[in-house]
């Protein structure tokens, strides 16, 4: 899925869910709900802006949010990183320094790949390098 954010020059954009006008949706919440997602793991740049607003909006949209701190980096303008982390700690997201530390991590999702080790339907083999002749 491609979520387009920040492509409108007249509106600054921090959240993955809404433009900063808080009315223009990116469509992400509906997309995730339609596919049964309830827990989100956030990582990225910048912790104190885009990640923060995505976490806050994700919670407003009813998702359980887990921040993977090791996979984030803040800008930290005049203490903005500490403020953002405090906001996320106040019931807006679960903080974790490792993905495995999040409570109830999800089972890995399996996606079809022509290179997976499962049986190749075209050749009947498990060899990912063997192709149908």
User: Tens digits of per-residue pLDDT, 90-133?
Assistant: 765 566 665 555 555 555 444 443 433 444 444 444 444 444 44
Q: Which residue has the higher pLDDT, 6 or 132?
A: 6
Number of domains composing the chain:
1
- pLDDT at residue 63, rounded to an integer: 95
3-class DSSP string for 66-133: EEEEEEEECCCCCCHHHHHHHHHHCCCCEEECCHHHCCCCCCCCCCCCCCCCCCCCCCCCCCCCCCCC
Q: Which domain holds residue 55?
A: 1-133
- Using the CB atoms, write b or e for 120-129: b if 16+ within 10 Å: beeeeeeeee
Per-residue pLDDT, averaged over 70-80, amounts to 92
pLDDT tens digits, residue range 9-31?
A: 777 789 999 988 888 888 999 99
Per-residue pLDDT, averaged over 64-84, amounts to 92
DSSP state at residue 30: H
pTM above 0.75, yes or no: no
Per-residue pLDDT, averaged over 39-51, amounts to 92
CA distance 4 to 91: 27
The CATH number of the domain where 2 resides is what?
3.40.50.850
């Amino acid at each position: 899925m491609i979520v387009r954010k920040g492509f409108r020059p007249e509106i600054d954009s921090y959240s993955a869910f809404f433009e900063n006008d808080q009315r223009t949706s990116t469509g992400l919440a509906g997309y995730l709900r339609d596919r049964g997602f309830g827990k989100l793991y956030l990582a990225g740049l910048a912790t104190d802006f885009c990640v923060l607003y995505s976490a806050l909006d994700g919670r407003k949209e009813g998702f359980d949010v887990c921040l993977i701190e090791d996979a984030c980096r803040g800008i930290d303008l005049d203490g903005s990183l500490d403020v953002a982390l405090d906001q996320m700690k106040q019931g807006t997201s679960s903080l974790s320094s490792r993905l495995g530390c999040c409570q109830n991590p999800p089972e890995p999702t399996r996606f079809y790949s022509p290179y997976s080790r499962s049986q190749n339907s075209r050749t009947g083999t498990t060899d990912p390098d063997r192709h149908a002749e």
